[in-house]
Amino acid sequence: MSAQPFVVLDGIAKRWKGALGVQDICLTIEEGSFVALLGPSGCGKSTTLRLLAGLETPDEGRIMIDGADVTHRPASARNLSMVFQSYALFPHLSVAENVMFGMKVRRVPKAERLRSLHRAMEITGLLGFEDRKPNELSGGQRQRVALARAIVAGQRLCLMDEPLSNLDAKLRHAVRKDIKKLQQDLGITVVYVTHDQTEAMSMADKVVLMRDGEIQQIGTPEQLYSQPENTFAAEFVGAPPMALIDGAALPGFSDGHTIGVRAENIVLAETGQGDLQCRVTDCEFLGAETFIGLQHPQARGLTLKVAGLKNIPAGQVIDIVLARETLLSFDKEGRKIPQG
């Protein structure tokens, strides 16, 4: 894997009739990496991907791919492949014909097309499905056909726009593993758009968190989870999200500051010996652990995580202790205050 930047977005902005799409998007992507663009609907992640793909042209900034300025090049001249949410398969063509369609258009010799087809079918676990039509396949199989088509394109850069959102939870988990393994086995660079933080955290080497057309934080999944740069990142990343507490509610913290704490860093305390006294709202048993929802007038998102099954009746008042060394402080604008 090259340590040199493979994809660079430098000061990218896009507006429609004056309305903001994205602005000041600065992002460097190394070759062979898996980068997730994460954020809520309307945050600009798909717009960023379309700008990178050449489906939209930026109003400001430039886009570099493999050292070449492609800002104004059409999608067909950017040497990349795409996988869409909708699969984008031809219903009247067989699996094999769908996969080989692009190669046929490019007049790739038949023998080479068949070799590429066999390899892609083998990699995606679709051997034996070549003659089926898309309507004879499950959702997961159709997405694998779309992946196979991207594989035979032979491009070093693959863009994926919410490819798993049409699948049920079990299939999403399986295909998520398939995509990550394919990316690693083929050594390709993937830029992956998702609103699902579980997808981003489990697949990506680097996560780009966006809101309102701007990048909020760039880092590894562990960095976004443990060291969110602002309260938006704290509450968006993690299941459950980070709880936020008014600093005035905790001894030793400044009024006006917000304190962040993860569920695993909250411990049940003896009555009268905790940092906070809270009311139980609900218990969610997940097998290996139980999440206990808590209510406090100066906090939001408080959740206590305990091992195994723990049932505390809703309405009961309990005391909790926070692991002080893990707490993060945020200022009035929601920005993380450097520790130390």
3-state secondary structure string across the chain: CCCCEEEEEEEEEEEECCEEEEEEEEEEEECCCEEEEECCCCCCHHHHHHHHHCCCCCCEEEEEECCEECCCCCHHHCCEEEEECCCCCCCCCCHHHHHHHHHHHCCCCHHHHHHHHHHHHHHHCCCCCCCCCHHHCCHHHHHHHHHHHHHHHCCCEEEEECCCCCCCHHHHHHHHHHHHHHHHHHCCEEEEEECCHHHHHHHCCEEEEEECCEEEEEECHHHHHHCCCEHHHHHHCCCCCCEEEEHHHCCCCCCCCEEEECHHHEEEECCCCCCEEEEEEEEEECCCEEEEEEECCCEECCEEEEECCCCCCCCCEEEEEECHHHCEEECCCCEECCCC
Torsion of CA 155, 161, 165, 171, to 10 degrees: 10
Same domain, 162 and 249: no
Same domain, 41 and 150: yes
Evaluate whether residue 339 is within a structural domain: no
Same domain, 72 and 216: yes
Same domain, 223 and 256: no
Residue 119 has, within 13 A of its CA and on its CB side, a CA count of 14
What does the pLDDT read at residue 1? 43
% of residues, the chain, pLDDT over 70? 99
Evaluate whether residue 335 is within a structural domain: no
> Which of the listed residues 184, 216, 233 is the one where a domain comes to its end?
233
Write out the residue range of the structural domain in which residue 15 sits. Answer: 5-233
d(CA 154, CA 297): 56
Looking at the DSSP bridge assignments, the partners of residue 8 are 28, 64
Most confident of 23-37, 94-108, 244-258: 23-37
Q: What is the CATH number of the domain that holds 289?
A: 2.40.50.140
Same domain, 190 and 317: no
Same domain, 213 and 305: no
Q: Is a pLDDT exceeding 90 seen at residue 147?
A: no
Q: Are 5 and 51 in contact (CB under 8 A)?
A: no
Q: What is the CATH number of the domain that holds 29?
A: 3.40.50.300
What does the pLDDT read at residue 2? 46
Place of tokens 């399986």: 174
Evaluate whether residue 114 is within a structural domain: yes
Q: Which of 334, 266, 276 is nearest to 306 (CA)?
A: 266
Evaluate whether residue 10 is within a structural domain: yes
Same domain, 247 and 228: no
What is the pTM (predicted TM-score) of this model? 0.90
What does the pLDDT read at residue 99? 92
> Which of the listed residues 191, 214, 233 is the one where a domain comes to its end?
233
Cα of 245 vs its chain's centroid, Å: 26
Q: Is a pLDDT exceeding 90 seen at residue 168?
A: no
The pLDDT tens digits for 88-132 are: 889 999 999 999 998 888 888 999 999 989 988 888 889 999 999
What is the number of domains present in the chain? 2
> Which of the listed residues 233, 255, 276 is the one where a domain comes to its end?
233
Q: Are 145 and 120 in contact (CB under 8 A)?
A: no
Evaluate whether residue 132 is within a structural domain: yes
Same domain, 227 and 256: no
pLDDT band at 174 (very low <50, low <70, confident <90, very high): confident
Evaluate whether residue 285 is within a structural domain: yes
Evaluate whether residue 338 is within a structural domain: no
Same domain, 135 and 97: yes
Evaluate whether residue 41 is within a structural domain: yes
The pLDDT tens digits for 33-61 are: 999 999 999 999 999 999 999 999 999 99
Same domain, 11 and 98: yes
Q: Which two tokens stand for residue 120?
A: 């892609």
Same domain, 161 and 115: yes
Same domain, 100 and 71: yes
